[in-house]
């Protein structure tokens, strides 16, 4: 019987699928970290969320044949080591895309309507808080989307169909696009002309700190940045400086460079910054889809390789 370690808690549908296909399932979240790693070393397969599986860990996993990522971002897995050692890395494309796209707009709407600030001021000074600041409408504005894969394309669709927004897209790998999308090859053009900017690309050497001081200086002072991609896409020190100097209107971050984010981070300080703990995919519906696809990736792999 092949053993599968699930490193972090996921929907039980994954356990049911694996056990019904005669796999021994180890629930890593019920163990200490050291016990979970020991189980991983003895396992033939793994399902992982955000825990780091670097070379120091994977080099001890002599039985491991497949890592099924619970999601699509694989920057927490040493993919090069896995490839060199014939360990398959599988993802779940599209399974949580709708949840992340909706969360993008939850952040965007909350920030454009000053929800956090006004709610706090209402408690502090009463009903006159309604006259402190005006909000922004989304309708007819321009959204710049960086990365137009499963999630970015859903964000674009919601923006256009729901709010009649102009949709600018930067994606060097884009082959086909809807008619309503204006694909641009110049990021500077996107930064200068977007009222809202939403990031939906993976983290690599090319994209790390793609939003830094230089890029922020190009943006409108009314611009709002949303990052539901990967934390390292934004230089957070430069972002904080821009927020403090009122160079942009706000930022919504579901991901940060450091995760978990320290409670004394300055990002928690501002009324025009909303930070959530990599929460975008965490809907009841997506948790089932992603867990199911992760488990099926394991089952399909071993059924095919036998």
Active site residue 296: no
Catalytic residue among 137, 188, 259, 285: 259
pLDDT, tens digit (0-9, with 9 covering 90-100), for 137-189? 999 999 999 999 999 999 999 999 999 999 999 999 999 999 999 999 999 99
Spot the catalytic one: 44, 103, 230, 289.
230
pLDDT of residue 303: 95
* pTM, two decimal places: 0.88
Residue in this structure with the two tokens 């790693």, named with its chain if needed: 37
From the list 44, 70, 103, 278, the catalytic residue is 278
Q: How far apart are CA 21 and CA 80, in angstroms?
A: 30
Element (DSSP H or E) covering residue 181: strand 181-183
Residue 209 annotated in active site: no
The DSSP code for 261 is P
Which tens digits make up the pLDDT trace of 68-88? Answer: 999 988 989 999 999 999 999
Residue 306 pLDDT? 66
Element (H, E) at 40: helix 33-41
Structure tokens given for 185: 């090859």
Q: Is 250:220 a contact under the CB 8 Å cutoff?
A: no
Q: Given strand 224-227, what is the order of strands in its sheet? A: 181-183, 166-170, 142-146, 196-199, 224-227, 250-253, 273-275
- Mean pLDDT for the stretch of residues 251-270: 96
In the residue annotation, 259 being an active-site residue is answered as yes
pLDDT of residue 240: 98
User: What's the whole-number mean pLDDT along residues 228-245?
Assistant: 97
The pLDDT of residue 25 is 98
H or E, element range at 162: helix 150-163
């Amino acid at each position: 019987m092949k053993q599968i370690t699930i490193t972090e808690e996921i929907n039980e549908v994954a356990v049911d699928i694996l056990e019904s296909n005669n796999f021994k399932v180890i629930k890593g979240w019920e163990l200490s970290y050291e016990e979970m790693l020991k189980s991983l070393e003895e396992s033939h397969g793994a399902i992982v969320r955000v825990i780091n599986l670097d070379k120091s860990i994977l080099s001890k996993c002599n039985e491991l044949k497949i890592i099924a990522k619970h999601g699509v971002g694989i920057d927490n897995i040493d993919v090069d080591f896995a490839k060199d050692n014939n360990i398959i890395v599988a993802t779940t494309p599209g399974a949580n895309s709708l949840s992340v796209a909706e969360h993008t707009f939850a952040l965007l709407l909350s920030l454009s309507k000053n929800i956090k600030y006004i709610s706090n001021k209402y408690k502090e000074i009463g009903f006159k808080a309604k006259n402190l600041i005006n909000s922004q409408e989304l309708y007819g504005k321009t959204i710049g989307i960086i990365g137009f894969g499963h999630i970015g394309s859903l964000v674009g669709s919601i923006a256009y169909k729901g709010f009649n927004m102009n949709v600018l897209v930067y994606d060097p790998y884009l082959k086909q696009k809807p008619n309503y999308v204006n694909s641009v090859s110049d990021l500077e053009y996107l930064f200068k002309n977007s009222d809202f900017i939403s990031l939906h690309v993976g983290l690599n050497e090319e994209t790390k700190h793609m939003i830094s001081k230089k890029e922020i200086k190009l943006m409108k002072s009314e611009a709002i940045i949303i990052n539901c991609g990967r934390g390292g896409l934004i230089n957070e020190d430069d972002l904080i400086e821009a927020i403090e100097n009122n160079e942009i209107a706000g930022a919504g971050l579901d991901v940060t460079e450091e995760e978990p984010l320290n409670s004394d981070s300055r990002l928690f300080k501002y009324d025009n910054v909303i930070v959530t703990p990599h929460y975008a995919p965490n809907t009841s519906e997506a948790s089932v889809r992603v867990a199911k696809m992760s488990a099926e990736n394991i089952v399909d792999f071993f059924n095919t390789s036998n």
